[in-house]
Structure 1
Amino acid sequence: MPLETYLIYLMAVGVFFATPPDTSQLLIISNSIRHGLRRSLWTVLGDLSANTLQMTAAAFGLAAIIASSATAFAWIKWIGVAYLAWIGLQLMLSPEKEGEVNASASASRLRLYRQGFFTSMANPFAVVFFGALFPQFIDPAAPVLPQLVILGATYIIVDGTILVIWGWVGLRAASALQRFSGGLVNRVCGTLMIAAAVLLASKDMSPQK
């Protein structure tokens, strides 16, 4: 892969992330507020694991199958919407314990990983997005697998960095919320999850994240 092609790809990925937070980013903000950034890195790991599987699916041509099957596409999408809304409602309705902000031991690593993984996997737009993005930067005259590894690894690094930055934003928000009580933290985090569900529900069938 020529260096100029890679730099254009890197710029394209950067522009893609220069948007308001999406579903996974809202999740990491919420988890960082409640559990701290360090523990919420398990959420980031879950998200990136799902992305890796989605890239693999795209590489095997499953992106076209998902994009062409409106029923499967809709089912994946609405399961994701329901999952995010369920997390949000749980948070909004659960009583807030004293010192819960940044209570790093209040959720298991597996639970945080699972939230990140399923939130990302429940987004059918990701596979279609990767299936549309990668071919634009692959040289068919060169071995394809090394190019896919480079493109995929680059995306994972950029995505992971962006998620950690949003997690830091959540950590800063937690510092401000420490002055409040009466369930405000859970309401804020629950609202973020409901917003993520609405964001996913509002997406149409076009290939996007």
Structure 2
Amino acid sequence: MTLELYLVYLATVAVFFATPPGTSQILMISNSLRFGLGRSMATAAGDLSANVLQMLAAGFGLAAVIAASAGALTVIKGLGVAYLVYFGIRTFFAPPTPLVKSEGAALGPRRLFMQGFLTSSANPEAVFFFAALFPQFIDPGAALGPQLFILGATYLVFDGLILVLMGVGAERALGGLR
């Protein structure tokens, strides 16, 4: 993967995170408001852990398809672009996501982790999203594994940063209301 291609990937991921928050981000905001930023970090860890599994599923699927056919990457890229356009349009016109209802009692770190993990895992489109996103930035002439690692790690850093910033923002907003 060239530096130019990686910079385009960074811009693409940044644009993705500029869209309205999804279910995992809403959960992070809710848990930060209810339990504080420190305890809600378990929610972020659960979300990111599920993302790793989704990326692995997408990566292994891509590796199998590319190994089966040299021209398959081109087809996957075309389908990926179509899906990303569809995803963008649907996200733009989607109604706002409501906040999760409060359960009242404080939850422990394991339960908060599982909330984040299950919320992210329950998104069936995540594997398709990664399978559509990653091929756009894969150099077929280079080793697939290191490229997928770089793309995945970069996404996880962005996602983790966004979750933390949303948690900080929620906690500060709550502090301003007190």
> For this structure pair, what is the TM-score category when the shorter chain's length is used for normalisation?
0.7 to 0.9
- Unpaired segments ≥5 residues, structure 1: 63-83, 98-105, 179-209
Tell me the secondary structure at the aligned position of residue 126 of structure 2.
Answer: helix
Q: CA offsets per residue over residues 87-122 of structure 1, 9 Å max, x none? A: 945x2xx5x58xxxxxxxx22100110000000000
Structure 1 residue 17: Cα displacement: 0.6
What residue is the counterpart of 1:6 in the other structure?
A: 6
TM-score, structure 2 length as denominator?
0.75
Q: Which one-letter code corresponds to 2:175 in the other structure?
A: S
What residue is the counterpart of 1:60 in the other structure?
A: 60
Q: CA offsets per residue over residues 124-148 of structure 1, 9 Å max, x none? A: 1111000001011011111000000
What residue is the counterpart of 1:127 in the other structure?
A: 127
Percent of pairs identical after alignment?
59
Give every structure 1 segment of 4 or more consecutive aligned residues whose post-TM-superposition deviation is greater than 2 Å: none
Structure 1 residue 174: Cα displacement: 2.2
Count of residue pairs brought into register by the alignment: 144
Q: How does 1:187-198 map to 2 (within 5 A)?
A: none
What residue is the counterpart of 1:194 in the other structure?
A: none
Q: Which one-letter code corresponds to 1:41 in the other structure?
A: M
Write the distance in 2 (CA, Å) between the matches of 1:30 and 1:108. 15
What residue is the counterpart of 2:73 in the other structure?
A: none
TM-score, structure 1 length as denominator?
0.65
Q: Does 1:151 align with 2:166?
A: no
Q: Which one-letter code corresponds to 1:56 in the other structure?
A: L
Q: Does 1:165 align with 2:153?
A: no
Q: RMSD of the alignment, in Å?
A: 2.1
Structure 1 residue 177: Cα displacement: 4.5
Q: How does 1:1-209 map to 2 (within 5 A)?
A: 1-61=1-61, 88-89=100-101, 91=102, 106-178=106-178
Tell me, yes or no, if the aligned pair for 2:30 and 2:100 is still in contact at 8 Å: no
Write the distance in 1 (CA, Å) between the matches of 2:30 and 2:174. 9
What residue is the counterpart of 1:185 in the other structure?
A: none
